[in-house]
């Protein structure tokens, strides 16, 4: 690797620097200078081979025409970006089989369903393949996944009280 040669270190040392590992300050400085000199960008694909994580989160959306979902996806994308993660979108254009094949091929670390339904075949298949799932906006009893739901009753009551006052 060119960065390692330039810095006079082993490739494993470059890896430790890029992944926040323990390295002597002078060694870290030399590696970072070489990284800057060659404008090196670590490959997420290569990292996923070593670390068994892709840094990719699948997001399944049922209806892109609903104005709520693009706002929700944008918020998710911002948070994922801040964490160094990326988003892979699956819409209802794909069948459950096509969505499953895409998400497995991309090696997602987890999948968020923006609006799950009880008979959602893709959610059940993802869990069956050991891929972590989060369901939003629906609570499905006995479903083996984290679930996030707004308290619509309280939100509605608060909105009505505000308008009445």
Name the one residue in this structure whose structure tokens are 């254009």.
Answer: 93
Higher pLDDT, 120 or 7: 7
Structural domains in the chain, CATH included, are 2-42 (1.10.260.40), 53-155 (3.40.50.2300)
The 10s digit of each residue's pLDDT in 94-128 is: 887 888 888 888 889 999 988 756 667 778 778 88
CA pair distance 141, 58, nearest whole angstrom: 22
* pTM confidence score: 0.62
Helix (H, G, I), strand (E, B) or coil at 145: coil
45-86 pLDDT, tens per residue? 455 445 567 789 999 887 888 888 888 889 999 998 888 889
**Distance, C-alpha 40 to centroid of its chain:** 23
């Amino acid at each position: 690797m060119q960065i390692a040669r330039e810095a006079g270190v082993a490739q494993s040392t470059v890896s430790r620097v890029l992944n926040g590992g323990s390295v002597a300050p002078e060694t870290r400085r030399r590696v970072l200078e070489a990284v800057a000199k060659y404008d090196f960008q670590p490959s997420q694909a290569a990292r996923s081979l070593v670390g068994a994580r892709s840094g990719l989160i699948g997001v399944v959306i049922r209806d892109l025409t609903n104005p709520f979902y693009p706002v929700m996806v944008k918020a998710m994308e911002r948070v994922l970006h801040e964490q160094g993660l990326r988003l892979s979108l699956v819409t209802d254009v794909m069948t459950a089989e096509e969505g499953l094949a895409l998400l497995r091929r991309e090696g997602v670390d987890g999948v968020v369903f923006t609006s799950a339904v009880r008979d959602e075949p893709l959610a059940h298949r993802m869990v069956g393949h050991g891929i972590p799932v989060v369901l939003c906006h629906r609570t499905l009893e006995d479903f083996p996944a984290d679930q996030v739901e707004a308290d619509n009753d309280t939100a509605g009551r608060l909105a009505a009280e505000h308008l009445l006052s």
